[in-house]
Structure 1
């Protein structure tokens, strides 16, 4: 602005001062408007983020705006940091101590008990013997019965004149013939008598017992057997069990001490006579 030595009239000074003052007020109003516009734009730009927080964050943003600051600090994190959940950590540590304190053999024992219980239930439903002596005997004689099953079919590969092949031929002169050899006090005593060349089945009153060589023969076959009923139990009988499914389903061909025979069927534990005693 150029300066001159000519003095300025008083009215011009007043006008200039008023103009300068007016210009200053206009500038002040403009500056305030710009500042309010900036605050409004900032609020609109950050409004969506402020709405996603809780009521506490909204109140904090309003307080910051009231003093001319942005609603959020530029360095503020969207998710506040919190201390770890000690209760959850303690629960995990306690579970780890419990697993470490439990011995491995306890888990193995529980698994064995569950398996044994399941087998006993299935055996009971199928009618298989569940008495401990019978189970032990079946386990200990399993190799012999399997040997008789696979090796007993061809002791001499004898073929009879009617075309049958000998599967099992035993005179009971040895103890390892693949048949059951066991006893239950008060019920039965079963086993070979090698010195007498016989297989004895001694039973108590109202007892029924049988023995199987463990052979599965689905083809037609013929069986020849000799049985002797002791004279002191002339009312007893011996026989052959056929088509044995389980202890409650089979056929029984029996011969008594008087030389008579009969054929019976047991189905689901109930007896029915197919052929009465016949001389």
Structure 2
């Protein structure tokens, strides 16, 4: 899969390519990541790429010329399937696992365009960009960290990159549920033990415990996931058992009573 990153700081992209799953994907030939610096397409002798906004206001805007030049070069470089051009900005729709999974499965080339300063000239977005995405309700100094997140999230979903493919399937969000708690050696640390069921050797009980813990964690921390896709009747029964019956392991009510009353359907 080919990913091109349009950025004023290509060295950040290069650094990310040398680490973790991204490095593994590149070494296995599953992924290629290249940086394109808009300064290389600047008409200014000082390689300037920003200017003051029309109408006044604080900060500077990225000029459309240098950015479009870098995008066009990245698009032309692929030579095959036209890449999807994605601007990373706070104004974009929220990026989630479904989008990442789709990109990784189709292996469509991507051009990730990183913002800086006060953002992009609207004409650049209108003429070159297919879609805008945001990591969430926060503002970064630039899109480079967001681009690195996208690259990493895609890399670990590509075939033969992660050593145990099952670990990807069981990640948080993969079934619209958060992950269950995990424990490793030593069996006791700072006076805290490991739940006895995990040492029981009973794989059925362990699977049930993990499923139930994931259910409770999701209900407490991310009830919105339930309200989008459930809960199922069995999950609602488990919630009733733990919260309405006053379970010692999971005290307190869920943050949204619709999880139990059925409003999530």
The TM-score bracket by the shorter chain reads under 0.3
Give 1 or 2 for the bigger CA radius of gyration: 1
